[in-house]
Structure 1
């Protein structure tokens, strides 16, 4: 298995499965400076990749994977399936780890293509699901907040209606009971009956008023729902406009920055976040004189990540770079990062 293919596959496999390589017989995985391997720590992930691409570590893992697969009928059967059949089994609940380990153990180009296809499919689906979930939650939160406030107000009014209705029913029952007793009593008792009737009438009036308010609130609630929907559409349109404006600002800003060609990918978000240079990354294995000559000539500087370029590509890189360009070579990412920070202070 080529080093490039092994590295590409390792970078796509989720870290929680990479950690399980240590379960293989004779495979030991440790990261200097870290007692445990935290799957959520990006630095740990980068150092784990560096550890796994070491030739001795790679050969040890492949040897143990091959022995494991040869002794397991189920894993052997995975190697006979095409990539869509394997993807269907994973989606149906079969072990993702076992499928990946089986394909890694096979040295054929066909197995390599199956593995990269499955890893890219799984990674794409995971990112898409996460983005859609975050977008739906953000839109729903704003609408639900106002709607919940109106619902709470309505529930309070309905509770008051229930309380008044309960009191009304209670008074009616008391009235019916007292009515029979008061038939034989004096004018004082008749006055008391009139008082009860007056209270009942007042409560009925209050009850009707509350019911009217509930109807108005229901109508207002319906209007608010329509308004919320319109507001949501307006927000979406405004966000779309803001995105376009920001993109145009970024494009204009990028045109003003010094253009730099960076040969070798540092695999770090610090590069994309810098506001000092307009940096275009070219992998050394993809560098071609005919293709990249205009880009190199238009750039003001050329930076070379020596630690990302092997001996095989070193000569090609030297031939492609124009002799009149300002060239900086960096032995590690830390020196590149310090250089950008120092230049941004000027």
Structure 2
């Protein structure tokens, strides 16, 4: 077994996260003040939580290490400076005995899926995207009964680290239409070319998502990306992003639309001191990947850059091996609360 670290960062609403971590008074400071201070001051990475497993067998300990940069700063500051700040957190975990570090939130995309640490031989790195892709695929399978027989599934962020792997898994097994959405048309063409399915289209226009019955969000934006005008009546959204790309206001403006939180894994045995913004016994798939690798005694790097389908399938194998601790797809939640996904009402042809 390997002691592990997992990197976090404050999300878009940094005051809310700081209040959860350090007490209510820290939640009263305006977000703008936090962003200014963290961009100017050399705040070191902080250990903000610890993880253990409630089981009779020996299990590894985990450390939550917070990178002191908010989501907008991680995406907006000089990339090299950001990578140095993330690497400081990796060093912190290593110095405290971790042999493996998982990249949470935006710490993965800003380090090119962890490839910025490929040279490191003193510690293993994984971006968590292999198990995230696997859990996303299982969530799609669970949602299929609530969709038309031949649904249109839009994969937003299809060329990204998680998106490319999910696209390949779905294209191999799915009979409906796939709409791959991303900013770069050339990368979309490269992703589509080897797929055997004839039912794959590409687009760089978010408005085309309005054709989809199910939308999978897998992007690296710092705020809400999906809006009411992007959604057809009765659409289901699986938001697989952290920070999330949907706003709770969407449910108010479009009560016909259902939003489901993606990438959630149920681990009843997990005992967390600190917070990751989830209810007890739940973890993000990227964190769960780090846990599973540590439980299995993995050494060295695992998922860097774009994960392969075989890596996603290997993570499902590890989840099955450690199923006595949990590690299965969590019941559906929406904006952190349990939800029951209902099949949208479809028009019924009346016989005459």
TM range (shorter): under 0.3
By relative contact order (CA 8 Å, sep 6+), the higher-ranking structure is 2
- The alignment's TM-score, normalised by the length of structure 1, stands at 0.22
- The alignment's TM-score, normalised by the length of structure 2, stands at 0.21
